[in-house]
Amino acid sequence: MPHTWFLYHTSEDPFAYPMGTGILKLRLFTQAGQQLSCTVIYSDRYDSPGHEVPLQMERIGSAGVYEIHEAVIETPTKKCRYLFHVTNPAGEYVWYGERGASENRERAGSFQYAYLHHSEALKLPSWSMDAVTYQIYPSSYNEGTLQGISDKMPYLQQLGVNVVYMTPVFESPSEHKYNTSDYYKVDPVFGDTEGLKALVSQAHRHGIKVILDAVFNHSGDRFFAFKDVLAKGEQSPYKDWFFIHSFPVTQTPVPNYETFAKAEAHMPKLNMDNPDTANYMIEVAKYWVRETGIDGWRLDVANEVNPRFWSRFRQELKSEYPEILLIGEIMHASGPWLRGDQFDGGMNYVLRDAVLEFFAEQSTGPVRFMEQLLHQEALYNEGEFGYVSVAWQP
C-alpha cells in the first residue's frame, strides 16, 4: 500500500454539507503532485455492503501542497454512508474511510452523514445574491454627514452599487465611533434619527440597501451602564454587564477590567453571557431596523462574543425580519460562524490580503493567487464562500 499518500476528509462542514433536500456535497483533500483519481462509493447508511453507488469525483484544483476533489451525491433517504477509493496512474490504490487508509475496504471503514437536516443549509437574504457593496466611513465622506451621504445615492447607483455599508454612526466621543456612548442616538456630528431615516429612504428609492455597523463586543466608557459602574462600583446593578476584575474600578495606569484589544480603557468589554446585557443589545438591533428600515447589520469583533449570543441574535432578528443580512467581523477563517445558526457572511480579511497582493501590490503571481483562492474556498461550504464580504481599507 502507498503509505506516503496524504488524504483528508471528515463528515462535517466544509467537507460534507447539505446543498438541498437529499443532496450532499463531499470534499476530499489529497496530496498534490500524485495525479490521484478519486471515486466516492455511497449508499443509504442502513444498506448492507455491496449496494453502494460509485461516483467519480471532480478535481477542482491545487491549493499548493494539497489538491481538492469534490462530488455531489443524492441520498433520497437523507441518511448516507460512504468511503473513497483513490488510485494513481501506476494502478496503486487505497480505500479511505473513517478508520483511515487501507488496501482492505473493511479495515478502512466508512464515513457516515447520519441525517441531512434541512436547517443546516445556510439561508441567505434573496437580495444579497448579487450585492455590490460600497463601504462608507461617515466622518470623511461628502461633508461627513448623513445628509451628505444621502446626496450621493444617485451617484452610487450610477456606479452599480446596490448596498451601502456604513461604519458606526451612533453617539461616541471618537471619530471612528467604535466606542459607543449611546446605542439609541445618532451622533450629532452626523445628524439625527430623522436624518438616518431619510438616508435609508433615499437609498431604497435608488435600489440600494443599507447596512449599519454595531459594536456589541464592547461599549465606550461613556456608556450609561459603565458610567454607573465607575460611580457606584460593586453596588452598581450594571456591574455584571462587564468583566470587572476588582473594585473600585480603575482606568489608569492599567484598567482592572477586560477591554477591547490590549488595555483600551475607553472600550470596556461587554458581558453578553449576562441576560440583561444580551436583552439590551438585541433590542437595540431590533429598534434601528424597525425605526429606520435598514437592511442589515455588520457586527464588530464578532469572533470574541459568545456564539450562544449570536445564535439567539440571529433567531430573534430573522424571525421578525427574514430578509435582514447579518455580517460578522471574523478576522480569520469564519466557517464555524457560517453554519446557518449565526451569520450570513464574514469580513474575509484573508481573501482581502490575497486580492491586494495580486492586484494592487503585484507582489504575488497568478499561480500563488489561485492557490490562495482555492485554499480559502476549501475552508467554506459553497454558500459561505460565495457570499462572504471583503473588507477594503484605503
Asked about 151 being catalytic, the answer comes back as no
CA atoms within a 13 Å half-sphere pointing along the CA-CB vector of 376: 26
- Does residue 300 have an active-site annotation? yes
Cis peptide before 248 (omega within 30 of 0): yes
> What are the angstrom distances between the C-alpha of 89 and each of 33, 37, 70, 106?
12, 8, 19, 24
Catalytic site residue from 187, 295, 329, 371: 329
Q: State the cell numbers at 118.
A: 434541512
Extract the C-alpha cell encoding 199. 438616508
Three cell numbers at 273? 453571557
Candidate list 187, 300, 371, 384, residue with the active-site label: 300
- The set of cell numbers assigned to 33 is 503532485
Alpha helix (H) residue ranges in 49-137: 105-108
Kindly give, in sequence order, each residue whose CB lies less than 8 Å from that of residue 381, ignoring residues fewer than 6 positions away. 13, 14, 17, 25, 122, 335, 338
What is d(CA 246, CA 249) in angstroms, rounded to the nearest whole number?
7
User: Which H or E element spans position 229?
Assistant: helix 224-232
Per the structure block, which three cell numbers stand in for 68?
Answer: 481538492
Distance CA 107, CA 387 (A): 40
- Report the half-sphere exposure of 93 (CA within 13 A, side-chain side): 13
Q: Which residues are catalytic?
A: 300, 329
